Structure 1
Amino acid sequence: MTDQAVQPGLRERKRLATRRAIRMAVLSLALERGFENVTVDDISRQADVSPRTFFNYFASKEDAILGDPPLVADDALVEEFIAGGRDTGDDPHALLDDLGDLLATASHDAEPERAVVQLRKQLLRQHRELMHRRLATMRAFEEALMEIVLRRLEVQTGTPASDPALRARAHLVTLVAFAAVRHAWANWVEQEGGDLQDFVRQAFTDLRTVVS
């Protein structure tokens, strides 16, 4: 699987900068004043954008805090990952190795920033309802990942995806992979430098050692 990052153009960099400014504004204001005391107008002024621009990026202040739902990867990479099951034979490590590559690429594409993640983490601790919404998005991500793993196993084994044993195996693989990603995120947030995708790759390298 390829791992070449495409550098964004000027328009995309401006878009990302605006999204970041809005996110930093809502997070910093909510931590300072309390989430319920912050309005979209307050956020827009802090981010130096109009309320209309705010709503071009986020549907609500809650969405601005929670950010985009996590994505596994683009469709082409997912299909490449699934098709890779035809060539792995009985290699016990191939599935996790390829899954690590897929999730590392997705981590790069997400372009997270430590400052945003750290502020969000502080705020979610203070607001249970926001934490529940964040957890719901993570569960949706986990379910989407499991379906991808299940399709890979179906190709690899020739067993239909409806088979309970195959679904159970896909669920186990997904839980292990998800734990590795969470471990990578936690380490990345605590460090001063390094790309998130490198932490994800290292987590899966360490996982390979553990399960050897």
Structure 2
Amino acid sequence: MGNTATDAAPGRRDRKKRQTRDALVAAALRLVDERGRDHVTVEEISEAADVSPRTFFNYFATKDDALLGGPLPDGPSIHDRLLAVPAGVPLLNALFEAMQPDIEQIQAERDVWLLRLRVIKSNPSLLPLLVARGECAEEETVAAVAARTGIAPDSLFPQLVATTAGAALRTSMMRWATDDNRDLLDLVREAFVILGSGLTEPAPTHEEVTR
């Protein structure tokens, strides 16, 4: 049998790291929301999170990384998750299933994400980094779709699938940010159903205005 105290130590360390990381993100977002990005320093963020600037840089390379949340915690990549979905599952359904853990994590951190979206809207200088991160995520999705379908990653199909999936997630998040009555997962699921329909025009949901 293993040593229980030793076996438990990595779990405690991981929780402590996550708590520190979350505290830094929360402090960065709160301060920038109050003052604006250009009026907040790494030192002030660190002080608000009750850690040293050195500790800050153990988690984030820059202030902007803290605002956008940095990399997701370790776990299976979208590539590994997509390949793990049974081969008989249609591609869009499989892709939604592979994305689900990330969507659920965002949903669980709703307050943080709503604040993050507000900070991004108020500080347009964050947009280039956000776009760059989106491009990296889409490149990973392209590789995953190519591996699952056997289609070359430089072909149009996997690139178009990755781009439309990313757009569906972003559109759903913006809708979610203004609708307290909908879960993000439901919105993304609905968006994927629309994509799966080939963007077939739905029946009108309101009476046509008579001219």
Give yes or no for TM over 0.5: yes
Larger Rg: 2
Aligned to 1:132: 128
Matched, 1:204 2:209: no
TM-score by length of 1: 0.72
Q: Distance in 2 between matches of 1:12 and 1:176?
A: 35
> Pick from 110, 113, 136: which aligns with 1:117?
113
Higher helix proportion? 1
Alignment of 1:136-147 (within 5 A): 136-147=132-143
1:42-73 CA distance string (max 9 Å, x none): 112212222222222212212111222469x7
C-alpha deviation, 1:173, in angstroms = 1.6
Instruction: Look up the equivalent residue of 2:163 and give its one-letter code.
Output: L
Identity %, equivalent residues:
36
Aligned to 1:107: 103
Matched, 1:27 2:29: yes
Aligned partner of residue 68 in structure 1, secondary structure? coil
Matched, 1:188 2:188: no
1:56-100 CA distance string (max 9 Å, x none): 2212212111222469x714x634633758546xxxxx0101011
Number of residue pairs matched by the alignment: 190
Alignment of 1:164-183 (within 5 A): 167-183=155-171
CA change 1:194–1:11 in 2 (3 A) is farther
C-alpha deviation, 1:195, in angstroms = 5.8
Instruction: Look up the equivalent residue of 1:25 and give its one-letter code.
Output: A
Aligned to 2:48: 46
Question: Structure 1: which 4+ aligned runs deviate by more than 6 Å?
Answer: none
Gaps of 5+ in 2: 1-10, 201-211
Instruction: Look up the equivalent residue of 1:175 and give its one-letter code.
Output: T
8 Å CA contact 2:67–2:116 kept in 1: the answer is: yes
Q: Distance in 2 between matches of 1:24 and 1:113?
A: 11
Aligned to 1:60: 62
8 Å CA contact 2:141–2:162 kept in 1: the answer is: yes
Aligned to 2:83: 82
1:3-42 CA distance string (max 9 Å, x none): xxxxxx5544433332222112112212322322212221
C-alpha deviation, 1:147, in angstroms = 1.7
**RMSD across aligned C-alpha pairs, in angstroms?**
3.2
Q: Distance in 1 between matches of 2:136 and 2:48?
A: 32
8 Å CA contact 2:32–2:119 kept in 1: the answer is: yes
Aligned partner of residue 51 in structure 2, secondary structure? coil
Q: Distance in 1 between matches of 2:22 and 2:105?
A: 15
Q: Distance in 2 between matches of 1:83 and 1:20?
A: 30
Instruction: Look up the equivalent residue of 2:141 and give its one-letter code.
Output: L
Gaps of 5+ in 1: 1-8, 89-93
CA change 1:125–1:195 in 2 (3 A) is closer
Instruction: Look up the equivalent residue of 1:147 and give its one-letter code.
Output: A
8 Å CA contact 1:104–1:200 kept in 2: the answer is: no
